[in-house]
Amino acid sequence: MQYGPTIQPVLPQYRSGMPPHQVAGLLKWFHFPICAPDVFHSVQQMAWQHPAEFLSTWLVDDEVQISTGPKLVFPRGSVNGWNTAVRSIFWGWRNRDSNVSRKVVLALKGRMDTTPALHSFVEVTNKVDPMLTLQLLQSWLRNHSAPSQIIECLLPRTEDIEVQGRECLAIVQADSRFLDCLVEQASYVFFGGSIHERHDANLRVALNYDAFRKYLFGKLLYKCFATLR
């Protein structure tokens, strides 16, 4: 089935000057199949060019104002499928702009230097991908006066990570070596490496599970920011 004719009415408006957050809002509100083969790269290009607008609209906003028309209110409920689609769009994206993090947090109606806002930020972005969360945090921490304090307030307890690890093993029905391998592959991807297609597929499947995303966030946070503690 071809989705091109369905989604094309939105994309030309972006090219003609519609603000990126409004385009992102239309794609979300109309439940456009953003991962369909014939539109995936066009949507990905827009999202990568305007990551703050797309991430805040797709992950945080409850509504979006389209020009002078009525506000479009996003339905509440299960968003697992949407989060998986957003993960696919931002897979491989590299963030180097601390303002992206700030804009996403502002959409959460908080400030990046308050603990509640930080935890809300992590909770929302971890539902998509903990590697995305850490990219946004990493770029922001580069300009922070006390990064170790931020890390300390986010680090999960070791025993909590162990519990999450056991939950993951129960889900995948594998031994700890398989879980360790997934973490190593994720770490390699996070630092800009490429992995075998089979390992990539395993990692993407594992990221569909909330327990694994929480586990991976804790492991990578310890791993990536160990030198700052």
Query: Sign of dihedral through CA atoms 125, 131, 132, 135?
Result: positive
- CB within 8 Å of 67: residues ≥ 6 apart: 22
Range of the structural domain that residue 15 is part of? 8-152
Domain total for the chain?
Answer: 2
| H helix runs in 60-191, sequence order | 80-89, 98-107, 115-126, 130-141, 147-154, 158-172, 176-190
Final residue before a domain boundary, out of 118, 152, 186: 152
- Residue 5: the pLDDT is 55
Query: What's the rounded Cα separation, in Å, for the pair 206 and 164?
Result: 13
- Residue 20: the pLDDT is 87
Query: Backbone dihedral region of 114: left (phi > 0), alpha (psi from -120 to 50 degrees) or beta?
Result: beta
- Residue 200: the pLDDT is 82
Pairing of strands 71-73, 63-65: antiparallel
Same-domain pairing of 141 and 159: no
Final residue before a domain boundary, out of 134, 152, 170: 152
- Kindly state whether residue 164 falls inside one of the protein's structural domains: yes
Query: What's the rounded Cα separation, in Å, for the pair 125 and 102?
Result: 13
Final residue before a domain boundary, out of 152, 172, 194: 152
Instruction: Give the end-to-end CA distance of the chain in Å, rounded to a whole number.
Output: 51
Same-domain pairing of 126 and 167: no
- Kindly state whether residue 27 falls inside one of the protein's structural domains: yes
Give average pLDDT by consecutive 10-residue segment, the chain, 229 residues: 55 71 85 88 91 86 68 65 91 81 68 68 88 82 69 81 86 82 86 72 88 90 67
- CB within 8 Å of 102: residues ≥ 6 apart: 112, 140
Same-domain pairing of 28 and 48: yes
- Kindly state whether residue 229 falls inside one of the protein's structural domains: no
- Residue 118: the pLDDT is 78
Which residue type does 211 have? A
What phi and psi values does residue 75 have, to the nearest 5 degrees?
-65, 145
- Residue 79: the pLDDT is 64
